[in-house]
Amino acid sequence: MSIPEDIVQRIKELRDAIELHDYNYYMLDTPAIPDAEYDGLFRELQELERSHPQLVTLDSPTQRVGGSALKEFSQVFHRTPMLSLGNAFNVSEVEAFDRRVRQTLGLDNVEYAVEPKFDGLAISLCYVDGLLATGATRGDGYIGEDVTANLRTVKSIPLQLLGSPAGGRRPPRFMEVRGEVLMLKADFEKLNLQQRERKEKEFINPRNAAAGSLRQLDPAISANRKLTFYAYGIGISEEGEVPRDKHDHVLDYLASLRFLVARERGVVMGAAGLLDYHQRIGANRVSLPYDIDGTVYKVNSLVQQEKLGFVSRAPRFALAHKFPAQEASTELLDIGVQVGRTGALTPVARLKPVFVGGVTVTNATLHNEDEIKRKDVRIGDHVIVRRAGDVIPEIVAVQKEKRPPDAKPFVMRDDCPVCGSKAVRLPGEALTRCTGGLFCPAQRKQAILHFASRRAMNIDGLGEKLINQLVESALVRTPADLYRLGIAALATLERIADKSATNILKAIEKSKDTTLARFIYALGIRNVGETTAKDLARYFGGLDPMIAADVEALQQVPDIGPVVAESIADFLDERHNLEVIEQLRACGVRWKEGDGTCRAAIAHPESSDSLHASEIAGKTFVLTGALLNLAREGAKEKIEAAGGRVKGTVSKKTDYVVAGADPGSKYDKAVELGVTVLDEEGLLRLLGDL
């Protein structure tokens, strides 16, 4: 029985529409239709295919998760071998690479295409007449494993190329697309959260999680662990419009076929351009959505690439410039306990020194007792240490297969290792705390260190060593004592030269002129960070109204809930704390007091300034996209100056989202939650600047 033409046509329409919506949703992060509408299209397609099974083709979006679990993967021969890249770890190796390239080509300066080096797994996708035929791992470079069924579940891999015959443009008859499959950091966090909830083993890092998902024999499991594919090149291609001149054009072409390619790609000149790019990517590494382990440089001209050719298994025209490894294995020698500012006892791993993330690491945080239990860390274990960027190194996993028989479990102590006071763990809390309060020198030191820190009172030169000396010699017991220090007292300390003593006294003097928000933050009240301190200062306008407020009144402050209100009230109930505040004021610590924002808005309702102020005061803003007239920071300052708050994430409590050019997913979230969206002009109007 022949199938009516309109059904064939409708199926095609639905498939094209779903592919386009997948692209908008997964790749551009800008869904064009609501989820429910998308589900409707998908269901309609599923139903049509169910009643006309002869029309089901492998490139249909309904077939992404298909087939049953495999027994093993079969082998795939790569028509173009999947080679590796030569590595460079420092500036001189990069300069030597550029020198060799210039010499071989007989040029003074060479153009390079530059990209991040994705930390995932190399993949080759074969398209035949525009349809995905196979997807394979790299294997030994010549023969890989056929993981097509799993790769079909990856939404960023087109099942059908845009230029397929039906679409008008001619796709290559045959094409190998090369790239890397990885797990985005956000998807990794979600997966591990799910693993934790199900009491299943967590993955060490996104790369391990991606590898595990890709090699799942059951595509349904693979589909549940979201992977993403980034393309970085083309192997063999036959016919079609594949660019044959420059690598950056190849990447643009791949993007036009709806492959994801790194946004951070670029074209630079010479070794200086390469090093500058490496430095910039390194500085932005943490904010990328995926892990990278370096940058990749490729001679941009494909003709020049061919001239340069290959040595053994790596091209002479390309180089991987690696960042120092962020993970390393070492031995856990002991677990110590550190006392923090609020008395929290933090277990700290004492490690056999290991070079990781560019420095030698000997200590790593273990967070708390539960974390140690969860990871089953024992003294004597071999562990994997991670140091990403400037964050505190942490233990991510234990290599249990190497566990010595005498490895010892950790037991949290019930006294403070510094002052000997009782240490207690309250029900529902993860942390054990020293009950010594400011009697405990460790807490005292931390409290003063915090008080003097850059974002608090900003006392230049008053670092950890000096504070330790000051507290140990009993010259300083409370922050107020800092303002009573004289040159004679400082001179009694070891290794303090006259000149640095004078400088420190000057810095202490200078810190007296401060703001209310900084002062509140400097007090080190539990649960009161910088933002809350700013909220409090803005709301109360002065310190005395804040001291007078009870828990209920404190909860009136926008964004302050019962827990934070309780911490503030507890702190201000302590006579000792009030005394220190009074002493600080008596020593000359001062700030400008103003009207609290709530009262300011009520006080002058009809003046036009306060009209704007009341539109902004107490309101929460989120900024997304590029602002043309107000650079982001400027916008933030202006909003804050008018009494508003600027936050990083959109929630139901957000009052306005300000969307500049090319806004990100925050814009979508705003639309989804029905939050008012302003453009830049709208914000300027609200600020009274238009």
> Which residue numbers are catalytic?
117
Q: Cα(665)–Cα(671) distance, rounded to whole angstroms?
A: 10
The one among 266, 315, 380, 461 contacting ligand IVH by CB under 6 A: 315
Rg (CA), the chain: 31
Cβ 250 to ligand IVH shortest distance, Å: 11
Q: Determine the residue with CB nearest ligand IVH.
A: 122
- Minimum CB distance to ligand IVH smaller for 235 or for 545: 235
Residue 664's contacts (CB-CB under 8 Å, 6 or more residues apart) are 29, 624, 625
Closest CA to 30 of 624, 656, 628: 624
Q: Cα(564)–Cα(558) distance, rounded to whole angstroms?
A: 12
Q: Are 643 and 538 in contact (CB under 8 A)?
A: yes
- Minimum CB distance to ligand IVH smaller for 296 or for 490: 296
The one among 97, 127, 232, 323 contacting ligand IVH by CB under 6 A: 232
Q: Cα(367)–Cα(371) distance, rounded to whole angstroms?
A: 6
Our finding on whether 291 is near ligand IVH (CB under 6 A) is no
Cβ 205 to ligand IVH shortest distance, Å: 15
Give the distance between the most distant pair of CA atoms in the chain.
104
Rounded to the nearest 10 degrees, what angle do helices 632-641 and 680-687 cross at? 30
Number of neighbours of residue 84 by Cβ within 10 angstroms: 14
Cβ 235 to ligand IVH shortest distance, Å: 9
Helix residue spans in 198-238 (DSSP H): 206-214, 219-224
């300069």: which residue's tokens?
95
Q: Which stretch binds ligand IVH (CB under 6 A): 78-86, 92-100, 588-596, 642-650?
A: 78-86
- Minimum CB distance to ligand IVH smaller for 117 or for 246: 117
Closest CA to 374 of 210, 197, 186: 197
Cβ 326 to ligand IVH shortest distance, Å: 16
Our finding on whether 84 is near ligand IVH (CB under 6 A) is yes
Q: Are 182 and 227 in contact (CB under 8 A)?
A: yes
Cβ 260 to ligand IVH shortest distance, Å: 12
Cα 188 to Cα 205, 208, 679: the distances in Å are: 8, 10, 33
- Minimum CB distance to ligand IVH smaller for 141 or for 463: 141
Q: Cα(49)–Cα(62) distance, rounded to whole angstroms?
A: 9
Our finding on whether 320 is near ligand IVH (CB under 6 A) is yes
Q: Which residues pair with 624 in a beta bridge?
A: 659
- Minimum CB distance to ligand IVH smaller for 137 or for 597: 137
The helix (H) or strand (E) run that includes residue 601 is: helix 597-603
The helix (H) or strand (E) run that includes residue 620 is: strand 620-624
Our finding on whether 14 is near ligand IVH (CB under 6 A) is no
Binding mask 202-231 for ligand IVH (x = CB under 6 A): ------------------------------
- Minimum CB distance to ligand IVH smaller for 320 or for 424: 320
Q: Cα(342)–Cα(338) distance, rounded to whole angstroms?
A: 11
- Minimum CB distance to ligand IVH smaller for 181 or for 659: 181
Our finding on whether 83 is near ligand IVH (CB under 6 A) is yes
Q: Which stretch binds ligand IVH (CB under 6 A): 46-54, 81-89, 147-155, 249-257?
A: 81-89
Q: Cα(421)–Cα(444) distance, rounded to whole angstroms?
A: 14
Our finding on whether 248 is near ligand IVH (CB under 6 A) is no
Cβ 638 to ligand IVH shortest distance, Å: 40
Cβ 298 to ligand IVH shortest distance, Å: 7
- Total residues contacting ligand IVH (rule CB under 6 A)? 14
- Minimum CB distance to ligand IVH smaller for 232 or for 253: 232
Site for ligand IVH in 372-431 (CB under 6 A): none
Q: Which stretch binds ligand IVH (CB under 6 A): 53-61, 83-91, 464-472, 620-628?
A: 83-91
Our finding on whether 180 is near ligand IVH (CB under 6 A) is yes
Cβ 233 to ligand IVH shortest distance, Å: 6
Enter the DSSP assignment of 210.
H
- Minimum CB distance to ligand IVH smaller for 314 or for 485: 314
- Minimum CB distance to ligand IVH smaller for 35 or for 245: 245
Length of the chain: 690
Q: Cα(378)–Cα(143) distance, rounded to whole angstroms?
A: 41
Characterise 329 by phi-psi region: left (phi > 0), alpha (psi -120 to 50), beta (else): beta
Angle at 178 between CA 175 and CA 179, to 5 degrees: 150
- Minimum CB distance to ligand IVH smaller for 113 or for 416: 113
Q: Cα(495)–Cα(679) distance, rounded to whole angstroms?
A: 57
Q: Cα(105)–Cα(351) distance, rounded to whole angstroms?
A: 49
- Minimum CB distance to ligand IVH smaller for 125 or for 639: 125
Our finding on whether 442 is near ligand IVH (CB under 6 A) is no
Q: Cα(60)–Cα(675) distance, rounded to whole angstroms?
A: 36
Closest CA to 158 of 283, 41, 58, 246: 58
Our finding on whether 296 is near ligand IVH (CB under 6 A) is yes
Q: Are 143 and 75 in contact (CB under 8 A)?
A: yes
Q: Helix (H, G, I), strand (E, B), or coil: what is residue 365?
A: strand
The one among 233, 343, 436, 618 contacting ligand IVH by CB under 6 A: 233
Q: Which stretch binds ligand IVH (CB under 6 A): 64-72, 82-90, 402-410, 640-648?
A: 82-90
DSSP string, 126-191: EEETTEEEEEEE-TTSSEEEB-HHHHHT-TTS-SB-TT-GGGSSPPPSEEEEEEEEE--HHHHHHH
Site for ligand IVH in 96-155 (CB under 6 A): 115, 117-118, 122
- Minimum CB distance to ligand IVH smaller for 118 or for 519: 118
The one among 18, 45, 48, 85 contacting ligand IVH by CB under 6 A: 85
DSSP string, 637-685: HHHHHTT-EEESS--TT--EEEE-BS--HHHHHHHHHT-EEE-HHHHHH
Cβ 281 to ligand IVH shortest distance, Å: 11
Q: By the criterion CB under 6 A, which residues form the site for ligand IVH?
A: 83-85, 115, 117-118, 122, 180, 232-233, 296, 315, 318, 320
